[in-house]
Amino acid sequence: MLWVVTIAGLILLGAKRAARVNLAVAHGELGRVQAHWLARAGIEQALAILEDDGTAVDSMPDTWYDDPLSFEDVELVGGSFSVTAPPAEGADPRVPRCGLIDHASRVDLNAADEKQLSQLAELTESQVDAILDWRDGDDQARPGGAEGGFYQHLKFPYQIRNGPFRTLHELLLVRGIDEPTFYAEDANLNGILDANEDDQGKSPPEDDGDGQLKLGLAGLVTVYAYELNKDAQGNDRLNLNSADKATLMKQLDFTDALADAVVKRRGQKKFQKLMDLLEVKAAGQQTGPRGGEKDAGKVNEITLKWLAEHLDEITVSDEKRLPGRINVNTAGREVLLTLPEMTKDTAEAIMARRAAAAGPFRGVGELFTSNTVSESQFRALAERVTVRSNVFEIRSSARTDWGIRQSIVAIVDRGAQPMAILYWYQSE
């Protein structure tokens, strides 16, 4: 009988152990589910703040940019979440910012021309050629680039895109774009200087140990950003390539002669950019902005100052979305320096002006009217920048009371109705 009791005891012990294992597994699974929804709560918090953002411009003082109350260790039942982003330029590179990432603060990989891409210090001439070849629609390789034949003859061949980049990681498929170019010192792409990224290469990745985080392409470019072709009130801008004479006179207060001149000029050749309007001269135009008595107070001459003051109201494009425009209120120094005719002094002046009591910039024209940029600089960059943003990256991380963690990265398009998710990644 003793052996029966012994066996029964062993069976009971085994059953208890199995029950404990099953309970632990169930508890772990429950914890992962809980962590997931805590991280989701961070995403939803960010979406709600973006939805409620009623400001006409997007800038660093906004709640979405940095608000510890909304995004830092927010306690919920069973755990907490945080929404973090890389620190602002000049801040401690080791301390994350509590907010979102504005993709309009980056260079648009699909819209940047050869000259702008060349301004990125991370890229060589050959790498620029390869990027342009990857996204263009032809099969003619640039001197340092590569078209379909190159990729088809690799050990593990694949098709060239020959179209716009769809994700940032697609860059790693482009000839010459290696991991050091893509990541630089930011091995985990969190935009924060971690210990292993500041130890002079004692542990991966390679770094110079200078106390600053060197970003690779992944931290400087985007494939998502755009500006809606609308004014600060959300109204469609007036298209000067299609508006009739009466509309030009009514909405822009043009004189009869100036409205005639605009219509005549576009009939000969469509306006390609807003700066083309400076070529328009009204018949019998006076040296000043006014014509005869009946035109007193009306606009009879398009000057750069007038353009700067009305830039947000007008357009020469029917496109609903204007890609490639960089937000001067949020872009960092390295991104600003990719803009045409930009100098280090001007980039510093823009950053100082937007941080001052008079900042941020309420409109693109304010760059000129505030004397932050010169006349020639404004002509070159006015249609390459914006003060509004639509695409944001949300990085939400959660921790349960039991220590189980989950993180979610979402890129969202606020300009879409309803708001759209463009990219979603969650850790296992």
pLDDT digit string (tens) for 318-328?
999 999 999 99
Q: Tell me which residue range forms the domain holding 164.
A: 110-226
> Is 285 found in the same domain as 185?
no
Of 193, 226, 259, the last residue of a domain is 226
Paired with 395 in beta bridges are 409
Whole-number pLDDT of residue 209: 92
Q: How many residues does the chain have?
A: 428
| Cβ atoms of residues 62 and 55 within 8 Å | yes
Identify whether 283 is part of a domain.
yes
Q: Cβ contacts of residue 234 below 8 Å, gap of 6+?
A: none
Identify whether 231 is part of a domain.
no
Residue position matching structure tokens 């004189």 = 255
Tell me: pLDDT of 62 over 70.
yes
Count: domains in the chain: 3
Cα(60)–Cα(62) distance, integer angstroms? 5
pLDDT in tens, 326-346: 999 999 999 999 999 999 999
Whole-number pLDDT of residue 6: 56
Mean pLDDT of the chain: 92
70 versus 288: the higher-pLDDT residue is 70
Q: How would you write the chain as a 3-class SS string?
A: CHHHHHHHHHHHHHHHHHHHHHHHHHHHHHHHHHHHHHHHHHHHHHHHHHHHCCCCCCCCCCCCCCCHHHHCCEEECCEEEEECECCCCCCCCCCCECCCEEHHHCEECCCCCHHHHHCCCCCCHHHHHHHHHHHCCCCCCCCCCCCHHHHHCCCCCCCCCCCCCCCHHHHHHCCCCCHHHHHECCCCCCCCCCHHHCCCCCCCCCCCCCCCCCECHHHCEECCCEEECECCCCCECEECCCCCHHHHHHHCCECHHHHHHHHHHHHHCCCCCHHHHHHCCCCCCCCCCCCCHHHCCCECCCCHHHHHHHCCCEECCCCCEEECCEECCCCCHHHHCCCCCCCHHHHHHHHHHHHCCCCCCCCCCHHHHCCCCCHHHHHHHHHHEECCCCEEEEEEEEEECCCCEEEEEEEEECCCCCCEEEEEEECC
Whole-number pLDDT of residue 290: 47
> Is 116 found in the same domain as 105?
no
pTM score: 0.90
Q: Calculate the CA 216 to chain-centre distance.
A: 15
Tell me: pLDDT of 21 over 70.
no
Of 265, 288, 318, the last residue of a domain is 318
Identify whether 77 is part of a domain.
yes
Of 178, 206, 226, the last residue of a domain is 226
Q: What is the CATH number of the domain that holds 215?
A: 1.10.40
Tell me: pLDDT of 359 over 90.
no
**Within 13 A of 3's CA, how many CA atoms are on the CB side?**
0
> Is 346 found in the same domain as 279?
no
> Is 295 found in the same domain as 264?
yes
Average pLDDT over residues 353-374: 96
> Is 32 found in the same domain as 2?
yes
| Cβ atoms of residues 408 and 43 within 8 Å | yes
> Is 419 found in the same domain as 400?
yes
Two tokens, residue 384 = 């390459």
| Cβ atoms of residues 216 and 107 within 8 Å | no
> Is 117 found in the same domain as 101?
no
> Is 194 found in the same domain as 117?
yes
> Is 348 found in the same domain as 300?
no
pLDDT in tens, 278-315: 999 987 655 444 445 566 679 999 999 999 999 999 99
Lowest mean pLDDT, pick from 37-51, 133-147, 191-205, 394-408: 191-205
Paired with 56 in beta bridges are none
Identify whether 233 is part of a domain.
no
Whole-number pLDDT of residue 54: 87
